[in-house]
């Protein structure tokens, strides 16, 4: 028997149900594993798709198989090459390479031939009813549907009509081709489902060649079969479609691909349907598909997520057979965990108060050696300028502190990160009583570069040298929606009513000079503030940084249990 490699799961987790199915197939000699990821190019991919991508490509990799990228492009009206290109970019960025790039539209000829074959077998007919009439005569779960008056056309007549449908003789909606199954079938999807509709619409790949387009249920299984897909994985809502998937394959006697369903990924505080995401874009409620508040892959990338963290997230979420909703916090936990390992530390102050060190010589500058990444010694150190005037964050000073406040307050001492100990001697205010400046003294013996001097102070705060600081635009994001499940809409409202009005806050931050000219996409931990990523909106004059995620880590306990 073949030894099965579990490189990604040794000692970590048990098999998920899809792995169990595959391993059972392998034991029975069906050793070939061929999956596919089948997006419809009608929008950008989101984190839910990432789950499906990791699953399909991951299973293929684990079992030495292949995974195709198939564009399910059977609906010309909503599809576009812009989406095709973005999907390819996102899949590659996530770290996967497809075995073949296919398009359902490449199979239009074959699908059409098979439709003729079903007509010849008496298993399909042309119906002159409108789609509305067809819907109304489908019956209900308890009431059988009514047969169409056109159901018993002769094979010859059906062949002739379908040929003329294809040739463009009829207007949109004038006729459809239906599978002839059973109008009383307990599964409503098998009550003579529509296979083809007339649509005089230009397709982004086939142009004007076709004016009839196959429906999802007819095209999908057949496309799987053409590509000899062994395990066709889709989301749970398709389980009722499975008998229809099988029906076409059996009637046509083609390669028996099998469909398996898993629970789609849902996340709190966001919407994930492409239709809704498109609305947000079109109505200008976000700046685009890659607005860093969106759940799309390109937005997460722009915000500073790593592909590693998204793959780790998909893995942690696991593969469920029942629908569930995952806390957005888990995604944030995963990116924090990865960035903590890889992101270099820098100092930045987002809400400055000026500190003047009165006993430090005017005009003097020295450099302080700072550790780039305590998690990774190889990242080395850097020199950060230090001078008489600094900025610290307003949060790090309190005039009337409560007990156990270890940051700066009148008369108290703190250590400047990697630098000296300072003591606050005087608080300067303006006419309105606002604090404008703190006068401090420093202990020149307290040494720079850590606590080697042996003096212990409880608080350590970050700082930047004011004359050396580089101002930058900092974008602080919060959840896009303020409701945990914006898809659950109350009466008279739409999902948009739950948009969080404070999901974006822009401030001017003061950065240490080493951040002045990093590349777009560069990722850093701003000490004590969070992880930040340089945005593509940066210009030569002003850098723009996105806050990927704060440092606070409400998931720590949960992760430790896992």
Q: Which is nearer to Mg ion, 40 or 443 (CB)?
A: 40
Residue nearest to Mg ion (CB): 40
Residue-by-residue DSSP string for 360-381:
SPTT-EEEEEEES-TT-GGG-E
Span of 11-19, 20-28, 250-258, 270-278 interacting with ligand ATP by CB under 6 A: 270-278
Q: Is 40 a catalytic residue?
A: yes
Phi, psi of 513 (to 5 degrees): -60, -25
Looking at 22, 33, 38, 249, which residue binds ligand ATP (CB under 6 A)? 38
**What beta strand segments (E) does 12-144 contain?**
34-37, 66-71, 101-103, 124-127
Binding residues for Mg ion restricted to 11-70, rule: CB under 5 A: 40
How many Å apart are CA 225 and CA 34, to the nearest integer? 11
> Is 265 a binder of ligand ATP (CB under 6 A)?
yes
Per CB under 6 A, does 280 bind ligand ATP?
Answer: no
452 contacts 485 by C-beta, under 8 angstroms: no
**264 is an active site residue:** yes
Is 557 known to be catalytic?
Answer: no
CA 514, 516, 519 angle in degrees (round to 5)? 100
Q: What is the SS3 assignment for 165?
A: helix
148 binds ligand ATP (CB under 6 A): no
* Shortest reach from residue 73's CB to Mg ion, in Å: 11
Residue 486 binding ligand ATP, by CB under 6 A: no
Q: How far is the CB of 274 from ligand ATP (least distance, A)?
A: 3
Q: What are the residues facing 302 on neighbouring strands? A: none
Nearest CA to 57 out of 306, 259, 231 is that of 231
Q: Does residue 70 bind ligand ATP (CB under 6 A)?
A: no
Q: Which parts of 191-241 fold into alpha helices (H)?
A: 216-226
- Compute the distance between CA of residue 119 and CA of residue 178 in angstroms, rounded to an integer: 9
Kindly state whether residue 66 participates in binding ligand ATP, applying the rule CB under 6 A: no
241 touches ligand ATP (CB under 6 A): no
What H or E segment, with its residue span, contains residue 442?
Answer: strand 435-443
CB nearer to ligand ATP: pick between 102 and 442: 102
Among 33, 34, 35, 51, binds ligand ATP (CB under 6 A): 51
| Residue with Cβ nearer Mg ion (130 or 273) | 273
Per the document, the length of the chain is: 562
Choose, by CB under 6 A, the member of 22, 226, 234, 408 that binds ligand ATP: 234
- Asked if residue 508 binds ligand ATP (CB under 6 A), the reply is no
Considering only 33-41, 89-97, 317-325, 385-393, which stretch makes contact with ligand ATP by CB under 6 A?
A: 33-41
- Shortest spacing between CB 248 and ligand ATP, in angstroms: 18
**What does the block give as tokens for 19?**
């792995």
Among 130, 131, 273, 554, binds ligand ATP (CB under 6 A): 273
402: Cβ contacts below 8 Å, ≥ 6 apart: none
Q: Compute the radius of gyration of the chain from its Cα atoms.
A: 31
Query: Residues touching ligand ATP: how many (CB under 6 A)?
Result: 15
Among candidate residues 61, 242, 264, 417, the one labeled active-site is 264
Closest CA to 162 of 195, 193, 129: 195
Which residue from 341, 314, 327, 269 is spatially nearest to 555, judged by alpha carbons? 327
Beta-strand relationship, 530-534 and 464-465:
unpaired
Q: Report the interface residues with Mg ion, using CB under 5 A.
A: 40
Residues that bind ligand ATP (CB under 6 A): 38-40, 48-49, 51-52, 72, 234-235, 264-265, 272-274
Tell me which residues are annotated as active site: 40, 264, 274
């Amino acid at each position: 028997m073949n030894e099965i490699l579990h490189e990604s799961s040794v000692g970590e987790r048990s098999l998920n149900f899809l792995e169990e199915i595959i391993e059972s197939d392998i034991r029975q000699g069906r050793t070939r594993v061929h999956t596919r990821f089948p997006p419809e190019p009608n929008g950008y991919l989101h984190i839910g798709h990432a789950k499906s991508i990791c699953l399909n490509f991951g299973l293929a990799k684990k079992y030495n198989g292949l995974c195709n990228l198939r564009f399910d492009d059977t609906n010309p009206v909503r599809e576009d090459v812009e989406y095709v290109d973005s999907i390819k970019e996102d899949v590659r960025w996530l770290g996967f390479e497809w075995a073949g790039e296919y398009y359902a539209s490449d199979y239009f000829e074959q699908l059409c031939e098979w439709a003729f074959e079903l007509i010849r077998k008496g298993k399909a007919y042309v119906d002159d009813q409108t789609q509305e009439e067809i819907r109304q005569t489908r019956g209900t779960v308890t009431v059988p549907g009514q047969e169409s008056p056109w159901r018993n056309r002769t094979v010859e007549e059906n062949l002739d009509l379908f040929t003329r449908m294809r040739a463009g003789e009829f207007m949109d909606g004038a006729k459809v081709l239906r599978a002839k199954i059973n109008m009383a079938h307990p599964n409503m999807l098998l009550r003579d489902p529509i296979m083809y509709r007339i649509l005089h619409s230009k397709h982004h790949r086939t142009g004007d060649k076709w004016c009839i387009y196959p429906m999802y249920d007819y095209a999908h299984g057949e496309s799987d079969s053409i590509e000899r897909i062994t395990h066709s994985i889709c989301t749970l809502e398709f389980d009722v479609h499975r008998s229809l998937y099988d029906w076409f394959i059996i009637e046509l006697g083609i390669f028996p691909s099998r469909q398996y369903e898993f629970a789609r990924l849902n996340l709190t505080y966001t919407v994930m349907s492409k239709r809704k995401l498109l609305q947000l874009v079109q109505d200008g409620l976000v700046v685009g598909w890659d607005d860093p508040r969106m759940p799309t892959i390109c937005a997460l990338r722009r915000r500073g997520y790593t592909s590693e963290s998204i793959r780790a997230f998909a893995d942690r979420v696991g593969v469920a057979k029942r629908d569930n909703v995952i806390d957005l916090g888990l995604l944030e936990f995963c990116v924090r965990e990865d960035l903590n390992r890889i992101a270099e530390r820098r100092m930045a102050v987002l809400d400055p108060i000026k500190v003047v060190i009165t006993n430090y010589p005017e005009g003097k500058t020295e450099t302080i050696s700072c550790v780039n990444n305590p998690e990774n010694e190889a990242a080395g150190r850097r020199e950060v300028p230090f001078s008489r005037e600094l900025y610290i964050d307003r949060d790090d000073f309190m005039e009337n502190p409560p007990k156990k406040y270890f940051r700066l307050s009148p008369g108290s001492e703190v250590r400047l990160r990697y630098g000296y100990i300072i003591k606050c001697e005087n608080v300067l205010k303006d006419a309105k009583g606002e604090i404008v400046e703190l006068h401090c003294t420093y202990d020149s013996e307290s040494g720079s570069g850590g606590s080697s001097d042996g003096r212990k102070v409880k608080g350590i705060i970050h700082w930047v040298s004011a004359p050396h600081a580089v101002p930058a635009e900092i974008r602080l994001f919060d959840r896009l929606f303020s409701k945990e499940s914006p898809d659950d809409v109350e009466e008279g409202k739409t999902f948009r009513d739950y948009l969080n009005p404070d999901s974006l806050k822009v401030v001017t931050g003061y950065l240490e000079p080493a951040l002045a000219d990093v590349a777009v996409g560069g990722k850093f931990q701003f000490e004590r503030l969070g992880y930040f990523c340089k945005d593509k909106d940066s210009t030569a004059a002003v850098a723009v940084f996105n806050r990927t995620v704060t440092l606070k880590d409400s998931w720590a306990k949960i992760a430790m249990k896992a």
